[in-house]
Structure 1
Amino acid sequence: MKSAYFLVAFALLAIASSFASAYDPSPLQDFCVAINDTKTGVFVNGKFCKDPKLVVASDFFLSGFDKPGNTSNAVGSAVTQAFVEQLLGLNTLGVSLVRIDFAPNGLNPPHTHPRGTEILVVQEGTLFVGFVSSNQDGNRLFTKVLNKGDVFVFPSGLIHFQLNIEETPAVAFSGLSSQNPGTITIANSVFGSNSPINPDVLTKAFMLDKNVIKYLQSHF
């Protein structure tokens, strides 16, 4: 009798888990090209799917990754994205791509991708890269100097950065394990939020004078 109760409980737990998940672990169709037309589409994973009979090769195509981004900005870097917004054929496929251009000594500032692991390969130049583990893992810093052809992985959700340590431009390409991995640039989010975070909160969090916090907020 006890074993029968156990089997029933196990079955109920399995059914509850399947309802809680509410999605398949992988797509059950070849592709789901995103569209914005709600009349002829089916909503899947954040986008409406184009009728497969109307899909064409250009839905899976994006040009322009041969062109450098504009690095004339405060940090000296530019990120060119191939997320689902730019390449509609990525919808439900769980991958995306970026090109990162660096001016001499340019920085891709500390940031996170909340929905994707990143794997980066250096095409030109020398980069100093790193990421910080979570609080539970002691906030350990992992860094490496990468040269042309080197590869480095940034685990999903962890703060990471890339710095060009040469006096010449650098270029890298990164693949990410999400069609829309998201990007949270730490300084922009903390000091440039809309509306501003109360300076009292940031003063205590960063253990800085309130005037310093206000100065930083004024620059973002």
Structure 2
Amino acid sequence: MSTLEPETREWLKANGFSVRTDAPWVEALTHGSYNGGAARVNERDYQRLEFLGDRVLGLSVASWLYSAGDAPEGRLSQRLNALVSGATCARIAQAIGLPDHVRLGKQAREDGGAESANILGDVMEALIGASFIENGYDATRDCVYRLWESELDGDSGKAKHPKSALQEWAAGNRRAMPQYDIIDRSGPDHAARFTVRVSIHNVGEAQGVATSKGEAEKRAAKAFLEEYG
């Protein structure tokens, strides 16, 4: 079983991770390409810890959002999806210097794997999983809050186009994608008025009226979120 490099151990501690034993941290930092992709005795890549860390991260951020105010469920889901996204995880990973510590195969590193947003996001979640294994939920949650502080206090997931926000709400709640239909068009071409209905199967529908199809869709999506979100 490999052990942590001294500089990696110090780096983990400097970023708030409490290291007790090497094994879970080595696993969290190991990409499938490492050592030519060949399995080593008692050594895995980060995928299982990524699975665990994803859930711990989601619960930590959801708890913070719930405690931070009284926004409706739809808006909470919108912010949650943004804050735990792969892009956000990768951004935080870059900020704390994770690329220097990912264990990659030679070819994967030469191909830019250490800067890959997908890999960095996955490894960030795996580190959260390793922390949960080593230190439990409370300590890991507090570590997440420190690392995500600027994101939690920022605008991630707050200001989105209503159609994008509705699509994220549907995805986050495991609903069908929104369906937009023009149900009325009136007036001359230079002053047309469009009425658009947006519906989500087994949830409901809402309407928007405007002088363009796009604006009517936007208003319909906004009305839907206000009604059901």
- For the aligned pair, the TM-score class normalised by the smaller chain equals under 0.3
Question: Taking structure 2 as the reference length, what is the TM-score of the superposition?
Answer: 0.20
Choose between structure 1 and 2: higher strand proportion: 1
Which has more helix, going by share of residues? Answer: 2
TM-score by length of 1: 0.20
